[in-house]
Amino acid sequence: MRVAIVGAGAIGLWVAGKLAKTDAEVSLLARGVTLKSVDERGVLIKSKGSELSERVSVSDDAKSFGPQDLVIFAVKSHDLPAAANMSKNLINQKTIILPAMNGVPWWFLESTSHDLAKKALHSVDPNGDCKAILPVKQVLGGVIHASCFVDEPGSVQHVMGNGFIIGSAAGLNVNQIEAVEALLQAAEFDVTVSADIRYDIWYKLWGNMTMNPLSALTGATCDLILDDPEAKAFASSVMDEASRIGAAIGCSIEQSAEDRHEITRKLGAFKTSMLQDAESGKNLEIGALLEAPQEIARLAGIDTPSLDHLLGVMRVFNKSLTAHSSQ
C-alpha cells in the first residue's frame, strides 16, 4: 500500500514512523527544517525509554509522490484547506482519505441523515476547498487517542495512548476499511473499527472542547483545572450544551460531564495539545473545537451561552498570542 502523511507535527511524525515499520511505502509531506531533518536521519520516535528510527520518503512537493492508496492528514484543522490544496497530486478517485485531527471535520453534516444533512460548515471549510478536493465518499473518519510532542524537528516524544478509531464517513466499502485496519494493526496501533465514527468524533470533542481551551488560557494542566470547583463547573456547563447539540445531530452522549471529568482526572498532570501550541505561540485550533459546534448549534436553534463565552475569550487570547509571536 502506498501511504502519504500530510503534516509533520507530533501526530504526523508518530504515525509516519510507526507505519514505516510495515510493508507499506510511506511518504511524508513536510517543510523547512523538519523536511531537512527527516531527509537526513529519518523519523525518530521516543517512548518510555525506547527509541525508534525509521526512514521515509520526504518532500515538500506532492507531485514527487504521485497518487496514493491512503492519504492521512495530520495537520491542525485550520490548516487543512491549504494542506488539501497542496495535496491534490496525492489523491485520485481510488484514494482513501483519512483525517487524523481533533474537532469537527468539514464532512460532519454531509453524512448525517438528520435535518441538517448536507449543510456546509464554514467555520472549518470557509471556501469549500475541503469539500471540493476531499470527497466525503472517499473519507475514512479517524480519531486518535494519544499524546505526543515534538522535541526537535523530525523527532517526536510519545507520552501516552495508542488508540486509533476508524470508520467510513459515507461511501467506503468493507474491503477498503479492512485494508486500512490491517495496515494500522501491522503498525501496532490499537485499532477499533467504528460503526458510527461521527459519534466517536463528537465524543472526543466533548472532552477536548473544554480542557484544551481552558488549559491554554490558564497555562495549567488538566488536574489543576478540575481541582478548582468553579473552573470545573464552567467546563461542565459547556459540555452540557455540547450534549444538547450532539443529541440534535444523532450523536447523543449518555455520560454526564462529571463522568468524563473523572476519566480525565485519572490521567494526572498532562498538558493538552492546545496548551503546547499556546506555549509555542502557535495559532490555536479553535475553529474545529469551538466555532464548528457553535455553528451547528445555530443551525439547530440551540442556545449556547457558556460555549459562546468560552469562544469569545479564546478568540481574543488567540489574537493576542499570534500577535506577540509575530513580533
Q: Which residues are known catalytic residues?
A: 204
Cβ(27)–Cβ(68) below 8 Å? yes
C-alpha torsion angle, residues 318, 288, 122, 120 (rounded to 10): -170
Largest Cα–Cα distance in the chain? 54
Closest CA to 183 of 63, 305, 325, 5: 5
Please compute, for residue 16, the number of CA atoms within 13 A of its CA located in the half-sphere on the CB side. 31
* Identity of the amino acid at 156: V
C-alpha cell at position 65: 509522490
Cβ(159)–Cβ(270) below 8 Å? yes
Please compute, for residue 217, the number of CA atoms within 13 A of its CA located in the half-sphere on the CB side. 19
CA distance 236 to 249: 20
Beta strands in the chain (DSSP E): 2-6, 25-29, 43-47, 50-54, 57-59, 70-73, 96-99, 140-152, 155-168, 190-193
* Identity of the amino acid at 161: G
Outline where 51-111 has alpha helix (H).
Answer: 80-86
> Pairing between strand 43-47 and 96-99?
unpaired
Query: CA geometry: angle at 191 spanning 187 and 45, to 5°?
Result: 40
C-alpha cell at position 218: 490558564
